[in-house]
Amino acid sequence: MIVVAGTVVIDADRHEAMVDAANLVSAATRQEDGCLSYEFFADLTDRSRFHVFEEWESLEALEAHLRTDHIRTFGASLRECGIKGSEIYRYAATGKTAVS
């Protein structure tokens, strides 16, 4: 399993546009083969910061995702939202268990 996690920082005045763009890309991505989860979260204290969390069956599934039209469209949306930076990392995981 591949896990992707990180943050994206945009112009705070474009918060609602980012929410709309994140909803669109999330809905399309969740339909992809190999996508186990795909979530965006608005930061609770900073309107310019969003968090992303993804789980993929394989690296190949993630790489196919990165070549989709909806990811290209999302990239354009990020530019329109005044992206100021991002830190997004990929992790290889051997599995997951519930925290109890």
The span from the CA of 25 to the CA of 40, in Å, is: 10
The span from the CA of 83 to the CA of 78, in Å, is: 6
Average pLDDT for 46-55: 98
Summarize pLDDT for 32-49 with one digit per residue, the tens: 999 999 999 999 999 999
Look at residue 95 and tell me whether its pLDDT is greater than 90. Answer: no
What pLDDT is recorded for position 79?
Answer: 95
The candidate with the shortest Cα–Cα distance to 70, out of 21, 15, 17, is: 21
Average pLDDT for 40-69: 98
- CATH (residue range 2-92): 3.30.70.100
Residue extents of the structural domains in the chain: 2-92
Summarize pLDDT for 11-32 with one digit per residue, the tens: 999 999 999 999 999 999 999 9
